[in-house]
Structure 1
Amino acid sequence: MTQPTFTSVLTVAVPVTDQDRTKELFETLGSKTIFDRELQPGFRWLTLELPGGTATLSLILAGPELPTGIDTGVRLSTPDARAAHATLTGLGLQVGDLLDWESAPLMFVFRDPDGNRFYVTEPYDSE
């Protein structure tokens, strides 16, 4: 048997106009900066580790080929969607309705200061 080509998702890059502003937001939400360096003039790579997660978020400077206001496709997990919804609303972010369906865990969407869409959900019930 051959070794697997890929073993996990390491990071997801999200374009932002102000890396420090978005870094501060995610640190307020419990993330920790694990990498912050200018790799070449004008190109800073900033990576945040989410508490308890294995994948990270990398905040990269937006540009013509990397616009903001995107649907990131990123699904963030939380043990308490109601509390997370209240926290993000309290921070003044654009937060969607808390979806409370019988057949799925609590979930909602929010947009960061650049309008990038993130999804938040409680863990799935495996039963």
Structure 2
Amino acid sequence: MVPTVMSMDMKLELVAVPVTDVDRAKDFYVRAGFVADHDHTVSEDVRFVQLTPPGSACSIALGKGLTEMAPGSLDNMQMVVPDADAARADLLERGVEASEVDEQPWGRFVFFADPDGNRWALQELPDWSVGAQTG
């Protein structure tokens, strides 16, 4: 007999971003518009910095002693934005290098990377997408 699995909500709340210099990374993400929620040194070996993109229910964590991933190894973290052109303009205004808007059938994309090379994509959903109406 196969056990019945209860369906439950699972909400992604936090993603560790591997960096070499916590202060430099924190400054970058704050400049990019993320909100600095916490910065706590737990011990000599552990520092926890939590930042949240505006409007997001999921945050990122930078720090010391948080992950074994190599700095810069996070690739293609993706966030949804209502307007790719406006998101790009905002990043550029904040001094963050960003790609031109990349038009694809499945959305419009802007790409950027943090100082360690962790790469991000901002996606404007296409009109036919169910989620486009809620962005």
Partner residue of 1:117?
A: 119
Match status 1:43 vs 2:53: no
Give the aligned residue type for 1:77. Answer: V
After TM superposition, the structure 1 stretch with the greater mean CA deviation from structure 2, 13-22 or 74-83, is 74-83
Shift of 1:51: 1.1
CA contact (8 A) 2:18 2:74 kept: no
Partner residue of 2:11?
A: 8
Shift of 1:106: 0.8
Shift of 1:3: 5.9
TM-score with structure 2 length normalisation?
A: 0.74
Give the aligned residue type for 2:22. Answer: Q
Shift of 1:88: 3.5
Match status 1:29 vs 2:47: no
| Secondary structure of the structure 2 residue equivalent to 1:27 | helix
CA contact (8 A) 2:48 2:66 kept: no
CA offsets, 1:24-67, max 9 Å, x none?
A: 22222322111211122231011011111100011134899431
Give the aligned residue type for 2:39. Answer: D
| Secondary structure of the structure 2 residue equivalent to 1:72 | coil
Decide which structure has greater strand share: 1
Divergent runs of 4+, >3 A: 61-65, 86-90
Q: Distance in 2 between matches of 1:116 and 1:15?
A: 8
CA offsets, 1:73-112, max 9 Å, x none?
A: 410222221233244456253x4442112x2221032111
Give the aligned residue type for 2:29. Answer: F
Equivalent of 1:108, from 107, 110, 119? 110
CA contact (8 A) 2:51 2:60 kept: yes
Give the aligned residue type for 2:123. Answer: T
Q: Distance in 1 between matches of 2:60 and 2:52?
A: 7
Shift in alpha-carbon separation, 1:92–1:11, aligned structure 2, 3 A:
closer
Q: Structure 1 regions of 5+ residues with no counterpart?
A: none
> What is the count of residue pairs matched by the alignment?
124
